[in-house]
Amino acid sequence: MSFFKATSERKSAPITQKDALRQKRLAHEQAQKDAGIWGDMAVGQITRDNKIFLHHWKGYALTDLFTLANKKPREMTQGEHDALVAWLKSDAYEGFTQSFVAWNISNAEALRVKNEHLEKHRSNGLEVINPA
C-alpha cells in the first residue's frame, strides 16, 4: 500500500520566455560550434575623431587604456602596439571610446572580422591607426 498517489501521466511545465530564450541561445551557440567559429576570442575597436584602431584578444579585455598602452597583449603585434601607444599618448588619453565588434569567436574568425572591419572603415574614409 502506498501513501503517494500514482500518476500515470506527467504534465510538463509550460515553457517560459526565459526558457525559450535560453534554448534559442544554446541552439545558436551549437550552430556556431558546428560551423567552427565558436571560441574565446573577442574583437574591439577604439575610436576618436574619425580615427579607429581595431584589436582582438583572448580572455578578459584590457579596457583601461593606460594598461593597454603599458602592456602589449599576446595577440597584438609589436607594430600594432607601437602605433596604438603613439596614438593614445598623442592626445593625453582623453576622448577615446571603446566598443565590442564581436565576441565568443575563434581566432581565425576574429582575424577575419578584424580585417573585414579595417577594410570597411578605410573605404568609409576613416583614418585607421592599425599598420597596413
State the cell numbers at 74: 599576446
Mean per-residue pLDDT of the chain: 86
CA neighbours within 13 Å on the CB side: how many for 69? Answer: 14
pTM of the model: 0.72
At residue 67, the pLDDT reads 85
Residues 76-103: what's their mean pLDDT?
89
CA–CA gap between residue 4 and residue 2 (Å, rounded):
5
pLDDT > 60? residue 1: no
Are 70 and 2 in contact, with CB atoms under 8 Å apart? Answer: no
Region class of 35: left (phi > 0), else alpha (psi between -120 and 50), else beta: alpha
pLDDT digits (tens, 9 = 90+) for 8-55: 666 677 889 999 999 998 998 888 788 777 788 899 999 999 999 999
CA–CA gap between residue 117 and residue 12 (Å, rounded):
46
